[in-house]
Structure 1
Amino acid sequence: MSHPVALRGLIQVAIVVEDIDKALDHWCELFAIERPQVRAMGLPNDDETYRGQPAHYGMRLAVIEVPGQQVVIELTEPDHHPSTFREFLDKHGEGVHHLGFAVEGRDAVVRDLAQHGHALRVEAFYPGGSWTVVDLEDVLGVNLNIKPA
């Protein structure tokens, strides 16, 4: 690839779960940490697509901060509407949905991945940023979330 993903840019391990409260119980016990806030996030969001179509789904989300590191563990419990998270959960069950990377030249990296046959699952824009989930499950066993550095 002419625009590779920089490994030093790892910022996120995103795990899809059936029951976020149950999952958080286990994660918090494992790490002996306080329970992070669970946020309910709903859509539609005019600035997000799922497989090229407007996104219409919701989810419950919790972020576990890793002290002294730039990486977070993100837990997502999707609702029943079509989404990249629901697709993964229905196909694989609970597990790592994506690894998130902050990269220089986000658009060039995403374009490179597309030229290598890796479809966009999600493209979303929000004030001050964006996130793009690229489908690499078949070759890596996990998707990539490409965010601008």
Structure 2
Amino acid sequence: MMEQKLFTNRVMQVAILCRDIKKTTEAWAKFLGVPVPPIVTTAPYEKTQAVYRGEPCHARIYQSFFNFENIQYELISPMDDTPSVWLEYLEKNGEGLHHIAFGVKNMKETLEKLDAEGMPTVAKGEYTGGRYAYIDSVDQLTMMLELLEND
């Protein structure tokens, strides 16, 4: 039997990076035939305590969310040129798929296990009610992973 790396089978989100959040959000809403969701911004560093490549990260993003019965579709656009996991990926790979997010209940143990597998944590932080971590799994899985742990 193969060893499970994430300790979960719960896919929570698919996220797409884009340069123009308003245009892309409107296009997806039209395509899906749903109302245009609000565009929100992430909280500042003082709230998120975000870290990117081992350093405090003050980058913020615009986000919009489409919630489906079984998964959330997230659109992300960096607010400026502050170094971040989002800007780095956008500059290197262009617009498109950024990550798939999995819900986990044991973030620390999962991050340690993935790091031992050659998939290091490149960014992490907190949000109201939980925490997130981005995993550099591009070489192995062709995309980033995001882990979400809710309180």
TM-score for the superposition, normalised by structure 1:
0.90
Residues in 1 aligned to 2:105 and 2:45: alpha-carbon distance in whole angstroms: 29
Match of 2:72 in 1: 72
- Residue range with higher mean Cα deviation, 21-30 or 90-99: 21-30
Match of 1:39 in 2: 40
- Residue range with higher mean Cα deviation, 6-15 or 40-49: 40-49
Count of aligned residue pairs for this structure pair: 147
Match of 1:140 in 2: 141
RMSD: 1.8
Change (3 A) 1:112 1:84: same
Q: 8 Å contact 1:63–1:72 — kept in the other structure?
A: yes
1:59 corresponds to which of 40, 46, 61: 61
Q: 8 Å contact 1:3–1:109 — kept in the other structure?
A: no
Q: Secondary structure at the match of 1:37?
A: coil
Residues in 2 aligned to 1:2 and 1:80: alpha-carbon distance in whole angstroms: 39
CA displacement at 1:104 relative to structure 2? 3.0
CA displacement at 1:139 relative to structure 2? 1.6
Q: 8 Å contact 1:55–1:83 — kept in the other structure?
A: yes
- Residue range with higher mean Cα deviation, 6-15 or 74-83: 6-15
Q: Report whether the alignment pairs 1:117 with 2:118.
A: yes
Q: Flag structure 1 segments of 5+ consecutive residues without an equivalent.
A: none
CA displacement at 1:140 relative to structure 2? 1.0
TM-score for the superposition, normalised by structure 2:
0.89
Match of 1:49 in 2: 51
